[in-house]
Amino acid sequence: METILEKIIAYKRKETEERKSLYPVKLLERSLYFQAQPVSLEKYLLREDLSGVIAEFKRRSPSKGTINAYAKPAEVTLAYMQAGASALSVLTDEHFFGGAAKDLEEARRVNYCPVLRKDFIVDEYQVIEAKSIGADAILLIAAVLSKEEIKNLSALAFSLGMEVLLELHDETETARMTGDIRLAGINNRNLADFSVNVERSFEMAEKLGSGFTLVSESGISDPATAANLYDAGFRGFLIGESFMRTAQPGKTCSAFVSQFRELREKNKINNSVISS
């Protein structure tokens, strides 16, 4: 039986071919963002004065259905940044997640922090498209790409000044990482059945070791979980649903960031006392 992920990728390949004919590469390259210098996602995640939270804008998902159908990208993402998020993630898939390229463009227009294009990227055209709409980084999903595809897509992204967050789900996918990728995302969601288990991040962190800036994705709703992930070496926390399901995502994000910072400092003090 075809999984949800397989359905998404099959549709994405067809959709991308259609977009190529509607919006040729030469047209994309005329975008005002094409000459702009991207903002480093990794640097923002590693800044001690920031939270490490990558706050996500999304309207719906295949597993959860409608999350926040009428949210406005500019309004929500600006509130996220003002709440203390280090970076933004914007879902641009329309068919399955209710997103659009213009959602990211609107977020870019009102924010100076890094913006990650969250989508199912399988073609170089989508990388160029990401640059044209103002993305600073792209997501590549190891589960749907070969090592050669990851190498080629990431090389193109780097040549355009963008960074790459490579999403991993299990130990077998680490072999597909290429030497230039520095951002490793651990998705706590099983892409076959969409179940969530945050323990996946802790397990994968031990297997990956040092050398990467780690980002934990999905299922993080408790600031205490984020604080424990921080102690385990994670510097990025991609959070969307728990913010977007509320009436005011920005305020929810602000409360999360505030509690997380308090717990992070408390843990630092406790660890310092223990080590001394």
In residues, how long is the chain?
Answer: 276
Name the pTM for this structure. 0.95
Structure tokens at 152: 């080629």
pLDDT, mean of residues 135-149: 96
Amino acid (one-letter) located at 198: V
Q: Which of 12, 42, 51, 56 is catalytic?
A: 56
> Which of 42, 217, 241, 254 does the annotation list as catalytic?
217
User: Is 163 a known active-site residue?
Assistant: no
Query: For the residues 131-157, what does the mean pLDDT come to?
Result: 97
Distance CA 117, CA 164 (A): 10
Residue 46's CB is within 10 A of a number of other CB atoms, namely 14
Maximum Cα–Cα distance across the chain: 64
Give the angle subtended at the CA of 91 by the CAs of 142 and 113, to the nearest 5°: 100
Q: Which of 12, 51, 58, 89 is catalytic?
A: 58
- Given this model, what pLDDT does residue 276 score? 57
Question: Among this protein's residues, is 167 annotated catalytic?
Answer: yes
241-258 pLDDT tens trace: 999 999 999 999 999 999
Span 74-119, pLDDT tens digits:
999 999 999 999 999 999 999 999 999 999 999 999 999 999 999 9
Indicate if the pLDDT at residue 272 is higher than 80. Answer: no
* Cross-strand bridge partners of residue 166: 140, 184
d(CA 135, CA 16): 18
Write the burial class of residue 160 (CB in 10 Å: 0-12 exposed, 13-18 middle, 19+ buried). middle
Distance of alpha carbon 235 from alpha carbon 215, whole angstroms? 6
d(Cα 118, Cα 50) in Å, to the nearest integer?
Answer: 21
